[in-house]
Amino acid sequence: MKIYIGADHRGFRLKQDLVDYLHRAAYEVEDEGDSELSPEDDYPQFAGRVCSKILSSNDPDTRGILLCGSGQGMCMAANRFKGIRAALGFNRQSARVSRNDDDSNVLCIPTDILGKNEIYRIVDIWLKTAFAAAPRYIRRNQELDELG
């Protein structure tokens, strides 16, 4: 599984720690964020980079992780892309359900709210939870792609 990761200035410091953590867990990770901290950056550019990479991938299980202060801005930006199902990972249960029921392919992390170890647990659950693929879940995802 390939994971694209992006962060604005509020998620920048944690982004490198998370990249290192995911590499140690044997995931292939590509950093789509800034290489240096820039307090003037804007989250939509990083969400756009990550979502574009996911949508252009031939691997149906490519995922993205986006980090910003509340997680909300990244989630709003990512969900503008047809085929992206971004979820706010504010706790372990939200991460699990977003994969199991909704087949989320982007996880948005609120770095101002959660500590690093809890973020690692949330990411682990999200990456290891399979989509249940119940007919109603598949139907709902198709309906999402038909909106707007």
Q: How far apart are CA 79 and CA 48, in angstroms?
A: 10
Strands 86-88, 2-7: pairing is unpaired
Based on the residue annotation, tell me whether 75 is a catalytic residue of this protein.
no
Q: How far apart are CA 105 and CA 53, in angstroms?
A: 12
Q: How many CB atoms lie within 10 A of CB 82?
A: 12
Q: Catalytic: which of 51, 68, 75, 108?
A: 68
Place of tokens 């198709």: 142
Q: How far apart are CA 137 and CA 148, in angstroms?
A: 19
Question: Any idea which residues carry the catalytic annotation?
Answer: 68
